[in-house]
């Protein structure tokens, strides 16, 4: 066994770490948080990838880039709850089933609202609607209604941004605008010129439609190298299109506005797990972009140490000079962004999949390595030598158990303070079931005749 798991275990010690010092910076007039659903970092030009993203590249040059921002959960609802509260996914419970979170502490929106900010959210996908998540807590406006197209499944991002910009322009004082864009989620259907930008010579028949992709996603069919390259080209096209869509928002933000762009999770195009994200914790699924620009943030800086989406809310409050969130799992990273702290706190990043799913997983990641626990056993990856995570090394049971115990100890303080009782399962309206089934989040329930009738069975 390689030496690093022992070093990894040492890094996972359960001793609490003091918060990073909050810098003395002017309070920005406003905050814009943009979440690009299903966007993995490594495909973006801002992170060295192929997909052209001039607006994100510019944002990185003007602000800071987190090189290893890790999603704590590879699904929309729980990942955003973690982002908005600083509390790990287990605290929130089964949000899609209950339509709300068990977390009883303050959200980022509630904290900013109490500080005098107008709060508005503009939602691009079914899985983040208020009826599906209860995430409207603290938002005066939660704009999530839109016509549904079975062939595309999203609310077009340019429409979401137009609504958001109109609302921002109507505010007289500071505001917090949360913009959620669903365009990169499957199906992969970029508009011209992005539909042919990265694979103009493709001669096959596979498209990015849900009908074409479902046999690979659900039935284990394996794409040919040419077909896989084409689907990746469509996905990259969607990333470039997203960059163009958010351009007016980024360009219109005033210099004293804090702007954050991140994602809830990525997407898998490898490891035999195609065009999906729910049941994987490889870096292609959990490593997401996190770019931030605003007063006090050092231009052109890069944070190499792993950060997590639970760090977003504490960091925003730290940059604003507002009272920190207490008893949460996230770390305020504002000190390293402003230069008040030279070295970021080193802490392993934790991710889990849905524990009710077949083969639930836990990933524990440092800057150089990852332990992936699945079905009671664990493997490690040396991310410097094996960034694609194709050469696993078995991990001794004692090392695995110690790492998991460290993670469980991390959960306890917030569970005791902020986690409420389990919430009952809610009913699903027929139109909601159709949307969630189309997105792969529920299985159709079959009647006595074997015909699908729709239902909330978990996938």
- Locate the domains of the chain by residue range: 26-344, 427-459
Give 181's Cβ-side CA count (13 Å radius).
30
pLDDT of residue 412: 81
Q: In whole angstroms, what is the distance from residue 412 CA to residue 249 CA?
A: 39
Nearest to 102 by CA among 82, 75, 122, 83: 82
Q: Please, is 398 exposed, middle or buried when counting C-beta atoms within 10 Å of its C-beta (0-12, 13-18, 19+)?
A: exposed
Confidence at residue 440, expressed as pLDDT on a 0 to 100 scale: 53
Q: What is the rounded distance in angstroms from the CA atom of residue 416 to the CA atom of residue 296?
A: 35
User: How big is the CA angle at 141 (ends 158 and 331), to the nearest 5 degrees?
Assistant: 85
Strand, helix or coil for residue 419: strand
Domain 26-344, CATH among 3.40.50.980, 3.40.1390.10, 3.40.50.620, 3.40.720.10: 3.40.720.10
pLDDT of residue 341: 84
**Which residues, including other chains, have CB under 8 Å from residue 250's CB and lie 6 or more apart?**
55, 58, 59, 259, 261
pLDDT at 258: 97
User: If we measure between CA atoms, which residue out of 352, 392, 353 comes closest to residue 369?
Assistant: 392
**pLDDT score of 14:** 44
Task: Quickly count: other Cβ atoms within 10 Å of residue 260's Cβ.
Answer: 22
Q: CA angle 315-69-289, nearest 5°?
A: 100
pLDDT of 376 reads 85
Mean pLDDT by groups of 10 residues along the chain of 459 residues: 39 46 59 98 97 98 97 96 96 91 95 96 93 95 81 83 97 96 94 95 93 87 95 98 98 95 97 93 97 96 95 96 90 94 85 91 92 92 95 90 86 81 67 51 40 30
- Beta strand pairing status for 273-276 and 30-36? unpaired
- At residue 455, what are phi and psi to the nearest 5 degrees? 175, 165
């Amino acid at each position: 066994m390689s030496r690093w798991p022992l070093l990894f275990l040492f890094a996972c010690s359960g001793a609490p770490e003091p918060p990073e010092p909050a810098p003395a910076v002017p309070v920005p007039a406003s905050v814009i948080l943009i979440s690009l659903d299903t966007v993995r970092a490594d495909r973006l030009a801002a992170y060295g990838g192929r997909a052209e993203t001039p607006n994100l590249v510019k944002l990185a040059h003007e602000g800071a880039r987190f090189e290893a921002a890790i999603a704590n959960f590879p699904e929309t609802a729980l990942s955003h709850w973690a982002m908005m509260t600083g509390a790990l996914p287990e605290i929130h419970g089964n949000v899609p089933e209950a339509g709300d979170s068990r977390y009883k502490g303050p959200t980022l929106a509630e904290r900013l609202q109490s500080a005098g900010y107008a709060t508005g959210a503009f939602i691009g996908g079914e899985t983040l609607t208020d009826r599906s998540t209860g995430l409207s807590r603290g938002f005066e406006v939660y704009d999530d209604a839109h016509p549904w197209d079975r062939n595309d499944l999203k609310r077009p991002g340019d429409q979401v941004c137009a609504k958001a910009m109109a609302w921002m322009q109507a505010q007289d004082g500071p505001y917090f605008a949360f913009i959620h864009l669903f365009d990169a989620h499957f199906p992969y259907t970029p508009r011209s010129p992005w539909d042919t930008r990265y694979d103009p010579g493709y001669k096959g028949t596979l498209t990015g439609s849900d009908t074409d992709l479902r046999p690979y996603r659900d039935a284990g069919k394996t794409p040919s190298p040419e077909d896989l390259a084409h689907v990746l080209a469509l996905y990259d096209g969607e990333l470039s299109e997203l960059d163009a869509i958010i351009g007016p928002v980024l360009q219109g933000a005033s210099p004293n506005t804090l702007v954050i762009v991140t994602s809830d999770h990525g997407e898998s195009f490898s490891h035999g797990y195609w065009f999906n994200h729910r049941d994987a914790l490889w870096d292609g699924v959990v490593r997401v972009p996190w770019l931030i620009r605003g007063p006090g943030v050092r231009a052109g800086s890069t944070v190499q140490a792993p950060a997590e989406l639970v760090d977003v809310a504490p960091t925003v409050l730290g940059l604003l000079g507002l009272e920190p969130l207490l008893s949460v799992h996230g770390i305020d990273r504002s000190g390293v962004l402003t230069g008040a702290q030279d070295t970021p706190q080193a802490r392993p990043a934790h991710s889990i999949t849905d524990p009710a799913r077949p083969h639930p997983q836990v990933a524990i990641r440092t800057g150089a390595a990852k332990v992936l626990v699945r079905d009671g056993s664990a493997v490690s990856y040396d991310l410097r030598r094996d960034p694609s995570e194709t050469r696993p090394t078995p991990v001794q049971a004692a090392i695995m158990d110690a790492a998991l115990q460290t993670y469980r100890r991390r959960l306890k303080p917030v569970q005791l303070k902020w986690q409420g009782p389990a919430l009952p399962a809610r009913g699903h309206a027929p139109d909601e079931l159709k949307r969630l089934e189309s997105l792969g989040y529920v299985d159709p329930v079959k009647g006595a005749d074997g015909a699908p009738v729709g239902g909330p069975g978990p996938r």
